[in-house]
A and B are shown apart, each in its own frame.
Chain A
Amino acid sequence: MLKVQIGTNLCGKYFLISTACYGVNYTRHLFIQRETPEEDLKPEDYQQFRDVGAACLSGGDGQQLLKFIQDEKNQVTSLILDGRLTLDESRAASVGLALSALHKQLSRLPVPYTQQQEEADEHGLCCCCVALATFTRPFVDGVKKKDENCNPTPEDDELKAEILKFCMLSLKEPLLEAELNRDRKSTLWLFAVEIMIILSAIRESLPGLLFFSSLRKFTTMDTDLSKESAACLAYLLFVQLIAMDTFPAVFNPVFILQCNMEHINQLLSRYAISKLQALFAKSLEKVEDNSLPVGVLDLESFYSAPQILYLINTSDCYFFPNVLCLFYTNTISYRSLLCRCMLKTSHHAGVEGYIVNNIRSQIQSTIKGEANKWFLGTELLLLLELVLSLPQAAETDLLTNMDKIMESLNLLRYLLTRDKELKSDADVWEELCRIKDEYLKMLRVCISMSRAYYSAEMKALKEERKLKQARSTRLLKTITVKHDKVSHMSPEVQYQVLQSALVTFDLMESLVVRIDEITEEKQGKPH
């Protein structure tokens, strides 16, 4: 509907701003001489600037408008702003639209990632950020004044919501991607500071955005935006320390770590590696040694922790030694966390068996090494709960899970031979025994059920063979194992398969019996 052109004529002296409104058949042309003294501008010019500004935005020419503002900062900005401030009908909505449209233009520009690129500002991103911040200032100041005079209206609340949306958009783009360095206060750094100032001016509580936003319904934006922006905000606050001096100092570091894990996961999904590493390290720094409850690690948000550590390990981030140290001294052992994760998610008996073996070696070295004794406490129990469990209880397929079960039984046998060291914590030992007893009970049931089933199959096979030998020389028979048919096997091979299954069960049972023997021996011994 509205077409806009901004240009200069040949001698660069005049701006031609023309608007053509096709629907209504009228056009306005405005020649404005550059550096026109203020007094020579007529009231109609103010009006037209305003209309042109609106037209620019609705036509998607926001970038041009921004450049225009930037270039003619002193006079034109104030004119256009004056115009804006007198917009009465749904001011908040139109401000919101203006900001969104301008930001959209901004987000198309590539983000510089080196210092040289940022200083060169080839594509003008930094410049536009400054202009946008300038543009927003009067609205923010207006809202702030209203608050101070204690007479905000619902209209003001709407305006605050639109300004908040603008801040969140800016946090996502470009700040989430930008390289920020506290020691080098670049343009983008200053833009970040500006955003924080705006958030404070519109009375937006930072703890509210970072820690308590899950229950909040944002009227002007969707949850994805708010999550990504909050992650960037957490980085700016905790790592770059922007606005940190006025942030409440009374939060529990464990709580902060829990909340930040959500943000770290967001950064992980955006592959903002250095940012998330820094945030992770900073959050761990403040947690007191041995104060992180092990149960916290079972929260879903912590399942990315091994992934993060892996990323730290494989990059040359200088946080690497610090974070690992923190991790070891904070009652979390990297390996045990990794083990727990993999046991829960791998669904592959071979892998699980390997991990259980790994756990045994770790326990071995812990006992020998005299260090990290806390590992043999609650953490060990949590690991054992995962290791000494049958996924489908009594109906577990022992053959599929054979690797894991055999390793688990070996681990149990090892633990029992090391009872002296482990009994030092009586509660832990008692719980360990309980887990062991439950596991073995279930396993025995499982073995006998499996053995019965396979024996029956073997018997049926023998009977079939006898009958067939009596009748004919047909060789093929189908066995149904679970829902699949095992066909194309000769009876001899089938027999061998069943036979080896039974042998496996015998092997398992003999291990169980051995464990029982050891238990009895130990109980018989005096303390």
Chain B
Amino acid sequence: ILSYSVFFSTSVCKESTAVFAANGIDITPRKDQGVFKVVKRQGLDGDRPMIGDKVTVHYTGKLLTGKKFDCSWERKEPFCFNVGKGQVLKAWDIGVLSMQRGEVCTLLCKPDYAYGPTGNPDKIPPNSLVVFEMELLNFEGEILTADGGIMRRIKVKGEGYSNPNDGASVDVHLEGRCGDRLFDCRDVGFIVGQGEDKGIPLGVDRAMDKMQRGECCLLYLKPKYGFGNEGKPEYKVGPDKDIVYEVTLKNFKRAKESWEMDLNEKLDLVSGVKTKGNQYFKAGRHHQAVIQYQRIISWLELECGTGMEQHKKIQDYVLTAHLNLALCFLRLKEFSQAVDNCNKVIEHDESNEKALYRRGEARLLRNEYSLAMADFQKVLEVNPLNRAARAQLSSCQSKMKEHQEQEKKIYANMFQKFAERDSKVCKLTKRRKDESMRSGMNGEVGIKRRRRSQDCPS
């Protein structure tokens, strides 16, 4: 530590650059002396971060003059980013990938690998050499979905800025493992969104749009994105198992995006998409069905068509897609999404029986009893013969009663409780008043906030 602070003292700086260069290692791939590293403290021997990993570091950045321009310790907030993806300075991507967990090191960076000729307006002059002290606190795979069900670690970085979109045709090499056992190894081509047809797990399919051409990565899949609670007997994988797939994206061809197609193209293709969605739904593959139905909506929701007939055709497709999505989301227990889709239909058609019924179902399952009842009642207005709706209505009423009984119990003694509390408050305030009057701090009673520890217990 002593030598470290000497290192940064202004008077010594110029010589120290040379010292640095002499003691440090050139960690650039091209060995152009752009980044020198000196390890200050060894990390835990073991693996190093992989490209795309979410890394957590603490750092201090200084100019050669010793002036500090950035410091995460001062913010008391470790800094997180995905390494090796061009999110940060080039020197950092190279530097952090070379570190081990717990390692502390110093990086001397030439401007090409740091702030370049532009510099950074207030803090860093153009063409500056900079020094970073880094500590690698942690690293973990990159989470690709909000529910954390797919985690990726990249072995070989791909290239290019485009990724396979839904409908793209991809060529991949797959290796699936459960524990250490390899159960699936093949070269296969499939269409993104329809990987199910070739026995590709949902997680691999969904990860495609984050992969680059030529990339090789490991995907850690939770059961929801793997083989679910059924498992896959052909592969001898049991229910609710985590699996790992090594995927190499050899090549792909993007499908046209909605704005790249004209209306006629879309109308030609849409019935096929709908059929596909229905197939998946029948087979119980609700996630996959959702993907297809959402495609229909993304293609057609902003289209008007020319003439009444075409306009009606488009509208039918969109509304049916929303109804189907609502049903899928009911099965997937994503009730708010179910409600959203029903709402889209009801906006257009207040008396749509199916939409009202499904929205009622979703609301009932969310314990929104009065709203659910309103929906089922509307269904019966539209179609008095709907027996299912009648049954649901009585189910609502009995559930609501149960709920009210419970609430009564909770709030029965509410005012009693308040009265009890009032008397406690009175006692406390009086005591404090007395105390403060004794200490002579007049006029400040009540302005001092009561400490939590003196609160009345609930």
With A203-B77, A215-B146 known to touch, is A249 a contact of B70 (CB < 8 Å)? yes
Contact indicator A43/B446 (Cβ below 8 Å): no
Among A78, A138, A288, which residue has its beta carbon within 8 angstroms of that of B117? A288
Contact indicator B260/A43 (Cβ below 8 Å): no
With A86-B455, A89-B458 known to touch, is A38 a contact of B143 (CB < 8 Å)? no
Contact indicator B124/A249 (Cβ below 8 Å): yes
Q: Which of A117-125, A158-166, A170-178, A296-304 contacts B (4 or more CB under 8 A)?
A: A296-304
Q: List 18 A-B contacts (CB under 8 A).
A: A43-B422, A43-B429, A46-B425, A78-B447, A79-B446, A82-B446, A82-B449, A86-B425, A88-B456, A88-B457, A138-B449, A245-B122, A250-B70, A250-B88, A250-B89, A255-B88, A295-B161, A295-B162
- A residues within 8 A CB of B118? 253, 286-288
Q: Which residue of A lies closest to B143 (CB)?
A: A215
Complex formed: what's the CA distance from A86 to B424 in Å? 12
Query: Nearest-CB distance from B126 to chain A (Å)?
Result: 10
- B residues within 8 A CB of A208? 80
Taking A85-B452, A250-B92 as known contacts, 17 extra A-B pairs with beta carbons closer than 8 A to each other, sorted by chain A number, are A39-B443, A44-B422, A78-B447, A82-B449, A85-B449, A86-B455, A86-B456, A203-B77, A207-B79, A207-B80, A211-B87, A217-B146, A249-B61, A250-B70, A252-B90, A255-B88, A295-B162
Q: Which residue of B lies closest to A300 (CB)?
A: B257
Q: Which residue of A lies closest to B458 (CB)?
A: A88
Contact indicator B259/A344 (Cβ below 8 Å): yes
Complex formed: what's the CA distance from A89 to B456 in Å? 12
Give the contact-size bracket for chain B.
Answer: 35 or more
Among A215, A251, A254, A255, which residue has its beta carbon within 8 angstroms of that of B145? A215
B126-152: contact bitstring with A at CB < 8 Å (1 yes, 0 no)? Answer: 000000000000000001111100000
- A residues within 8 A CB of B143? 215
Q: Is B120 an interface residue (CB 8 A)?
A: yes
Complex formed: what's the CA distance from A424 to B220 in Å? 47
- The 9 A-B residue pairs whose C-beta atoms are closest, nearest first, are A295-B161, A88-B458, A43-B426, A249-B70, A347-B262, A43-B429, A255-B87, A217-B146, A288-B116
Complex formed: what's the CA distance from A296 to B161 in Å? 6
Q: Is A216 an interface residue (CB 8 A)?
A: yes
Q: Which residue of A lies closest to B86 (CB)?
A: A252
With A47-B422, A88-B455 known to touch, is A248 a contact of B87 (CB < 8 Å)? no
Interface residues of B (CB under 8 A from A): 59, 61, 69-70, 72, 74-75, 77, 79-81, 86-90, 92, 116-118, 120, 122-124, 143-147, 160-162, 257, 259-260, 262, 415, 421-422, 425-426, 429-430, 433, 443, 445-447, 449-450, 452, 455-458
Contact indicator A81/B449 (Cβ below 8 Å): yes
Query: Nearest-CB distance from A522 to chain B (Å)?
Result: 31
Contact indicator B433/A39 (Cβ below 8 Å): yes
Interface residues of A (CB under 8 A from B): 24, 37-39, 41, 43-44, 46-47, 75, 78-79, 81-82, 85-86, 88-89, 138, 203, 205, 207-208, 211-212, 215-217, 245-246, 248-255, 286-289, 291, 293, 295-296, 298-300, 344-345, 347
Complex formed: what's the CA distance from A38 to B442 in Å? 10
Q: Which residue of B lies closest to A41 (CB)?
A: B446
Contact indicator A298/B162 (Cβ below 8 Å): yes
- A residues within 8 A CB of B162? 295, 298
Complex formed: what's the CA distance from A24 to B69 in Å? 64
With A43-B430, A47-B422 known to touch, is A252 a contact of B75 (CB < 8 Å)? no
With A203-B77, A248-B70 known to touch, is A344 a contact of B260 (CB < 8 Å)? yes
Contact indicator A298/B446 (Cβ below 8 Å): no
Contact indicator B425/A85 (Cβ below 8 Å): no
Query: Nearest-CB distance from A509 to chain B (Å)?
Result: 27
Q: Which residue of A lies closest to B260 (CB)?
A: A344
Contact indicator B160/A252 (Cβ below 8 Å): no
Contact indicator A46/B456 (Cβ below 8 Å): no
Query: Nearest-CB distance from A227 to chain B (Å)?
Result: 14
- A residues within 8 A CB of B452? 85
Contact indicator A85/B450 (Cβ below 8 Å): yes
Complex formed: what's the CA distance from A46 to B443 in Å? 16
- B residues within 8 A CB of A217? 146-147
Q: Which residue of B lies closest to A212 (CB)?
A: B80
- A residues within 8 A CB of B92? 250
Complex formed: what's the CA distance from A291 to B90 in Å? 12
- B residues within 8 A CB of A138? 449
- B residues within 8 A CB of A81? 449
Q: Which residue of B lies closest to A51 (CB)?
A: B418
Query: Nearest-CB distance from A127 to chain B (Å)?
Result: 23
Complex formed: what's the CA distance from A5 to B435 in Å? 36
- B residues within 8 A CB of A85? 449-450, 452, 455
- B residues within 8 A CB of A345? 259-260
Most buried by B among A75, A81, A207: A207
Q: Which residue of B lies closest to A341 (CB)?
A: B259
- B residues within 8 A CB of A46? 425, 429, 446
- A residues within 8 A CB of B144? 215
Complex formed: what's the CA distance from A254 to B124 in Å? 18
Q: Which residue of B lies closest to A293 (CB)?
A: B161
Contact indicator A43/B425 (Cβ below 8 Å): yes
Complex formed: what's the CA distance from A208 to B75 in Å? 14
Contact indicator A250/B259 (Cβ below 8 Å): no
- A residues within 8 A CB of B449? 78, 81-82, 85, 138
- A residues within 8 A CB of B117? 288-289
Query: Nearest-CB distance from B276 to chain A (Å)?
Result: 22
Contact indicator A252/B88 (Cβ below 8 Å): yes
Contact indicator A246/B75 (Cβ below 8 Å): yes
Query: Nearest-CB distance from A301 to chain B (Å)?
Result: 11
Contact indicator A250/B59 (Cβ below 8 Å): yes
Among A39, A251, A296, which residue has its beta carbon within 8 angstroms of that of B87? A251
Among B79, B160, B257, which residue has its beta carbon within 8 angstroms of that of A248? B79
Contact indicator B120/A298 (Cβ below 8 Å): no
- A residues within 8 A CB of B120? 249, 286
Q: Which residue of B lies closest to A295 (CB)?
A: B161
Complex formed: what's the CA distance from A289 to B72 in Å? 29
Q: Which residue of B lies closest to A204 (CB)?
A: B77
